[in-house]
Amino acid sequence: MNSNNAQQVKEQLYRLRKPEKAAFFPRFFKTGPGQYGEGDQFIGVVVPDIRNVSKASRTLSEKETLTLLSSPIHEERMVALFIMIEQFQRGTAAEKKRLHQLYLHQSRYVNNWDLVDLSARVLIGEYLAADDISLLRRLAKSSNLWEQRMAILATFAFILQGNSEPTLEVAEMLVNHPHDLIQKAVGWLLREVGKRNSLEVEKAFLDKHAKQMPRTMLRYAIERFPETDKKHYMQLKFTSN
């Protein structure tokens, strides 16, 4: 069923809720006091179902999409992002620009790692793919954890085009980051550089930075390495302490 307004989308999501997921998600996404997802609310809809709802709602207006994106309900924000991605991937150059700018202007609602990870590659990275990366530098320098994660996740679009340089530059800016959500993201994207583009380029980065990288970041970066290479880089880390 196609949805023409935010209320219809909300009703579709509500019909798909799973009580056991509604109980599990707040713990999984760290919504307790002082945790990174503090105060987030869940109704218990799984991602494949949210995607299906978004596909039936891809003609939703900007106003109705913003109603969903500004919701306190996590799944409603997620479906809004999927709708924006659907529209972006089918849009004209002008529509892509509008959606990219809308995403940046409303980024305060993209406030958990799963929301960042599903959206930043497309709504930032794919838009910038033929442009400069000054925006990514600005996001990486932000004091906001989610904007910093957007910066590194957006570089996945460049990796998929065979260009590792934006990832390496942003990774270098975040290489000493204290939060594990950034450490894991940087390590993951470095691993993708080695997997998809050049293992030698990834190793050159690690040769330079392994000693100063947080252990979690390094472990994520070398996850696919042979055991001998893993031991080599972990020894670099250990001998630096």
CATH code for the domain of 180: 1.25.10.90
Confidence of residue 239 (pLDDT cuts 50, 70, 90): confident
Same structural domain for residues 84 and 162? no
**What's the whole-number mean pLDDT along residues 211-229?**
96
Average pLDDT, the chain: 95
Confidence of residue 238 (pLDDT cuts 50, 70, 90): confident
The pLDDT, as a whole number, for residue 131 is 65
Same structural domain for residues 64 and 155? no
Same structural domain for residues 138 and 101? no
Structural domain count of the chain: 2
**What's the whole-number mean pLDDT along residues 185-211?**
96
Same structural domain for residues 3 and 99? yes
Phi, psi (rounded to 5 degrees) for 73: -85, 125
Residue 151 lies in a domain: yes
pTM, two decimal places: 0.94
Q: What's the rounded Cα separation, in Å, for the pair 175 and 190?
A: 11
The pLDDT, as a whole number, for residue 240 is 57
Residue 122 lies in a domain: no
**What's the whole-number mean pLDDT along residues 177-186?**
98
The pLDDT, as a whole number, for residue 1 is 59
Residue 124 lies in a domain: no
Residue 102 lies in a domain: yes
Q: What is the pLDDT of residues 110-123, one digit of tens each?
A: 999 999 999 999 99
The label of the residue with tokens 């529209």 reads 87
Q: 205 near 168, Cβ under 8 Å?
A: yes
Residue 118 lies in a domain: no
Same structural domain for residues 144 and 228? yes
Residue range(s) defining the domain that contains residue 40 = 1-111
Residue 25 lies in a domain: yes
Same structural domain for residues 138 and 71? no
Same structural domain for residues 192 and 103? no
Closest among 79, 85, 161, 77 to 122, alpha carbons compared? 85
The pLDDT, as a whole number, for residue 42 is 98
Same structural domain for residues 175 and 85? no
Per-residue buried b or exposed e for 131-169, using 16+ beta carbons within 10 Å of the residue's own CB: eebebbeebbeeeebbbbbbbbbbbbbbbeeeebebbbe
Residue 154 lies in a domain: yes
Q: Is the CA virtual torsion 153, 158, 160, 162 positive or negative?
A: negative
- Inter-CA distances, 149 with 9, 111, 143, 194, 229, Å: 28, 10, 11, 20, 27
Same structural domain for residues 150 and 214? yes
Residue 127 lies in a domain: no
The pLDDT, as a whole number, for residue 3 is 72
